[in-house]
């Protein structure tokens, strides 16, 4: 079991753009890890961790960014709720991969780290 308190303390040491970059990286990992059937639990863990990253980040973000993060968090929760069924269906898994990739790019752009 992960020590979420320790992870949170470490995560919150970074400035907002770096935290958003970490969230974007998690979403990119979802894409890259989803290509192998044995990575179901690892991807599920990334979903959970990403939801925490959003929770810890949103409070320091502006209103527009908060709205985007809440939308993403709801999407992650939906995926997590049906994770076993999604993982077993290659079409659904491919759809998740595409959406996670799009979210990763979107969050990375919002972070300002690409400037």
- Per-residue pLDDT reduced to its tens digit, 47-64: 999 999 999 999 999 999
φ, ψ (nearest 5 deg) of residue 7: -65, -40
Looking up tokens 């999407």 gives: 75
| Rounded mean pLDDT, 85-111 | 94
Query: Does position 36 have pLDDT exceeding 90, yes or no?
Result: no
pLDDT of residue 6: 94
Predicted confidence (pLDDT) at residue 89 exceeds the cutoff of 90: yes
Question: What residues have CB less than 8 Å from 8, skipping those under 6 apart?
Answer: 52, 56
C-alpha pair distances (Å), 80 with each of 38, 65, 108: 17, 22, 22
> In the structure, what pLDDT confidence band is assigned to residue 115 with cuts at 50, 70 and 90?
confident
| Measured CA distances, 43 to 13, 29, 54, 89, 107 (Å) | 25, 8, 17, 15, 18
Cβ pair 28, 104 in contact under 8 A:
yes
If pLDDT is split at 50, 70 and 90, which confidence band does 83 have?
very high
Provide the 3-class DSSP secondary structure of residue 62.
Answer: coil
Two tokens, residue 45: 């863990």
pTM for the predicted model, two decimal places: 0.93
């Amino acid at each position: 079991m992960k020590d979420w308190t320790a992870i949170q303390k470490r995560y919150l040491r970074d400035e907002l753009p770096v935290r958003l970059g970490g969230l974007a990286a998690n979403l990119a990992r979802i894409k890259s890890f989803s290509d192998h059937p044995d990575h179901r639990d690892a991807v599920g863990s990334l979903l959970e961790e990403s939801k925490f990253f959003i929770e810890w980040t949103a409070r320091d973000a502006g209103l527009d960014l908060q709205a985007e993060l809440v939308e993403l968090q709801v999407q992650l929760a939906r995926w997590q709720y049906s994770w076993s069924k999604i993982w077993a269906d290659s079409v659904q898994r491919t759809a998740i991969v595409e959406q996670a990739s799009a979210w990763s790019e979107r969050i990375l752009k919002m972070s300002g780290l690409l400037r």
